[in-house]
Chains A and B, each alone.
Chain A
Amino acid sequence: MTKREIIVLTDVSLITCVVQRGLADKIIQAARAAGSQGATVNFAKGMGIRERLGILGVAVDVEKEVIHVVVSTEQQERVFEQMYLAGELDTPGMGIMYLTPLEKAATYVPEEVLQKLAIKADKGVNNTAKID
C-alpha cells in the first residue's frame, strides 16, 4: 500500500475582489507581480452604487468578475495593496475587495520546495506556511 500524505499550509489568507467584467486580468497581473502564485475568477452579477448613480449608473457594469487569490499572511498586505491600486478601487463603483483569514490550505507541493522548506526548518526557520 502506498503512503499518502497531505501537506497542510497554515498562515494563509484569501483575498476576494469583486470588479466589473473585464478588469480581472489587470488586477491578477498586479497580484502576481506582488508575489501571489495563482488566482481563480468566476462571473457574477452585482448591485451597489450603480443603482444610486441614476443615469450615470450606466457607466458601471452589472456583470462582475469575482477574483479569489490565496496568499501567505506574510504577503497579504503587499498583494492586497497592489490589487487595490490596479483595480482603482478608490473610485466609486469600481468594486470591493476583502481579506479572509484561512485556517488551512492544501495543494500539490513540488519535492524541491519541500526540500527547501525542510532545510529552513532544520535551521530553525518556521516556514511551513510559506507558499511563495
Chain B
Amino acid sequence: MKTATKTKLITCILPQGSGMDLVKRLSQEQGISSANVSAGRGRGSGQVGSIGAWDEVDMLTVTVPVEKADEIFDFIFHVGGLDRPRGGIMFQQAVSPVTEFSLPHIEETHSE
C-alpha cells in the first residue's frame, strides 16, 4: 500500500454549482487529480429566520501535499470566490496517512 504522511485536507463550502468548476480548474491549473464534491445545505452568519435561510451548497474536499497546501488554499479562496460575501467558507486540517493516487500522463484527444 502506497501512502503519504505529509498531507493536508482542504474542505470548502461553496454555493451550489461552483464545486465542479473548481475541480476542473484545480485539475487544469494545479495538477490535482482527485477531489470530491458532495451536496448539502448551509446557513451563514447573515441569514436570519427560517424561511429561505438555507442555501444549497457544494462541499469540496481535496487532499494536497503539504508543500503545495498554502498555494492551493489561496488558489481555491480566490478562484472559488470565497473573498466575496456569501461566498462560503474553507478550512484546512492535517491528515495522515493518506493513500497516494497518481494518474499516468495521457495526452488528451479531441474528437471532432
Q: B-contacting residues of A (Cβ < 8 Å)?
A: 4, 6, 12, 14, 28, 37-43, 68, 70, 100-108, 110
Kindly specify which of B17-25, B26-34, B36-44, B100-108 makes contact with the partner chain: B36-44
Cα distance A106–B13 when bound, in Å?
11
Q: How distant is the Cα of A46 from the Cα of B88 in the complex, in angstroms? A: 27
Q: Are B92 and A105 in contact (CB under 8 A)?
A: yes
CB of B6 within 8 A of chain A?
Answer: no
With A28-B43, A37-B44, A39-B43 in contact, do A107 and B82 touch (Cβ < 8 Å)? yes
A residues less than 8 Å from B77 (CB atoms): 6, 106
Interface residues on B, range: 20 to 34
Would B78 and A42 count as touching, CB distance under 8 A?
no
Question: Would you call A103 and B94 a contact (CB within 8 A)?
Answer: yes
Q: Give Cα A103–Cα B92 distance, bound, in whole angstroms.
A: 6
Would you call B85 and A38 a contact (CB within 8 A)?
no
Inter-chain contact A106/B93, CB cutoff 8 Å: no
For the complex formed, measure the closest distance between the CB of A10 and the CB atoms of chain B, giving whole angstroms: 10
In angstroms, Cα B92 to Cα A56, docked, is 40
A88-B95 Cα distance, complex, nearest whole Å? 30
> A69 vs B90: C-alpha distance in the bound complex, in angstroms?
12
- Please name all residues of chain A whose beta carbon is closer than 8 Å to the beta carbon of B59 when the two chains form the complex: 40, 42, 68
* A39, B42: Cβ atoms closer than 8 Å: yes
Tell me if B57 and A102 are in contact (CB < 8 A): no
**Alpha-carbon gap, A8 to B43, bound state (A):** 21
B38 contact from A12, A42, A110, Cβ within 8 A = A42
Q: Which residue of B lies closest to A110 (CB)?
A: B85
Q: Which A residues lie within 8 Å of B44 (CB)? A: 37-38
- On whether A100 and B90 interact (CB within 8 A), knowing A6-B77, A42-B38, the answer reads no
Query: CB-CB < 8 A to A42: which residues of B?
Result: 38-41, 59
Bound-state Cα–Cα, A66 to B45, Å: 19
Among A12, A38, A40, A41: residue with most chain B CB under 10 A: A40
A6-B74, A6-B77, A42-B59 known; A106-B42 Cβ under 8 A? no
Among A4, A28, A103, chain B packs the most CB atoms within 10 A around the CB of: A103
- On chain A, the residues within 8 Å of B91 by CB distance are 12, 14, 70, 102-106
B8→A6 contact, CB < 8 A:
no
